[in-house]
Amino acid sequence: MRRAWLSGLVLAITLLVQGGCTPMSSSVGEDRPGAAVSSTATVAAPELDGLATEIDHYVTQLEAQQQFSGVLLAVFDGQTILERGYGWADRERGYPNLPTTRFQIGSLSKAFTALAILSLQAEGRLRVEDSICRYLDPCPAPWQAVTLHQLLTHTSGIVDYVTLPQFWVTMSQRAVSVQELIQLIATQPLLAPPGEQFHYSSSGYVLLGYIIGRVAYPDLPVELAERTFLTQTILRPLGMAATSSGICSDGAATDAIGYRVAWVQANFCHPASLFAMGDMTSTASDLARWGRALGDDRLITPELRATLTQRSVPTSDPRTSYGYGWYVSQLADQQVIWHAGATPGYRSFIQVDFAHERMVVLLANYEAVPIVALGEEIAAMMRRWANDHERSTLEHRRYPPSEGILQHPAGTAE
């Protein structure tokens, strides 16, 4: 135990040194480049070339219509069939999106927070049935009945702080502390009695991040403690070297700039203001490594996987429930887990089908991308291909954007 604590302390010091923050910026006055250079990874199996080509053709059409800029990674039957960048990571400096480009992933961070909570429970250091007031001091009286389970499943009744105008006006662009965020959240009345209704609320995951930090390393600043625990228990064991939390971009060529519309940069949002609900940055390949690890026994036990992906509470979609940090959807004869994320200038999506070893990872640096609809369409293309026994059927089919994502609203799961 002492060795583990010392290891965590050394890691925390390293993260503290790395934790500086500079808003993303790009050079001004350089010549604007022409078409972006895209990069495609090698298809894993020649027999899947047709599927990869069809998906690539579809997304390339969207890129040409300025409806997608980012990275796509598709896994079919356990093999990566397509990993490619589309559009610009930084248009002003002429940096294209590549498979190695890092993006803010927003609410995809919630799944990491959920697993960290369950890891602490497995160590006997907390229970999801506990009242959150056991870990918060002071704790508002209306929160006494709120449990960690309710925070995880968005049934606490606590308001989503990112819907509050004062957050965007006074907090979103600075290195706000988690205590300040909690103080803002605590001023709001409950939307419903705890445990009664599903109300998606990022506030719950801010509170969960605070609890992780206080329980894991009580002698460290809570933000550093939470970041250290995630790195030590998830990111480092999986070799997710390109993934980090709570750290701004330094303007490196590997980091995508977030655009609002037509290559206009989005407003800056400091990751500290998102904390454990949405402060992570990652690559498509790191997230694919994460998705694969959830499906085998390298990181978690089958029992823990079942807890993460249980259909805990229904949502407005009768096919979909919410587990712990994941949506769980029943699509025909298969169950998939998925989530989407959104921060200013960025959109993200991951869907994992454990039974068929399929996965879709989408990272975008353009707000106009309807990320959920796009991800679902690519997953549907893989299902249709699997159901077609003749490749020629696929090679003559086309899924123009007008028949796919353009008729869907942008995802609201972020």
CB atoms within 10 A of CB 305: 19
Closest CA to 350 of 406, 299, 282: 282
Confidence (pTM): 0.86
> How high is the pLDDT of residue 176?
94
Q: Give the C-alpha separation, 165 to 177, whole Å.
A: 18
33-407: which CATH architecture? 3-Layer(aba) Sandwich (3.40)
Closest CA to 110 of 230, 13, 240, 25: 230
Dihedral-angle region of residue 60 (phi above 0 means left; psi in -120 to 50 means alpha; beta otherwise): alpha
Q: Is the peptide bond before 138 cis (omega within 30 degrees of 0)?
A: yes
| Host H or E run for residue 306 | helix 302-308
> How high is the pLDDT of residue 136?
97
Q: Give the C-alpha separation, 283 to 7, whole Å.
A: 26
Q: Is 207 in contact with 132 (CB distance < 8 Å)?
A: yes
Q: Is the peptide bond before 218 cis (omega within 30 degrees of 0)?
A: no
Question: Rg of the chain's alpha carbons, rounded to an integer?
Answer: 21
Q: Is 108 in contact with 350 (CB distance < 8 Å)?
A: yes
Q: Which long-range contacts (CB under 8 A, 24 or more apart) does 126-130 make?
A: 126/211, 126/215, 128/152
Q: Is 331 in contact with 319 (CB distance < 8 Å)?
A: yes
| Token digits of residue 57 | 């053709």
> How high is the pLDDT of residue 46?
72
Per 3-state DSSP, the chain is made up of helix, strand and coil in percentages (nearest 5) of: 40, 20, 40
Can you give the residue ranges of every domain in the chain?
33-407
> How high is the pLDDT of residue 247?
78
Point out the residues of the chain with pLDDT beneath 70: 1-45, 389-414
Q: Is 71 in contact with 98 (CB distance < 8 Å)?
A: yes
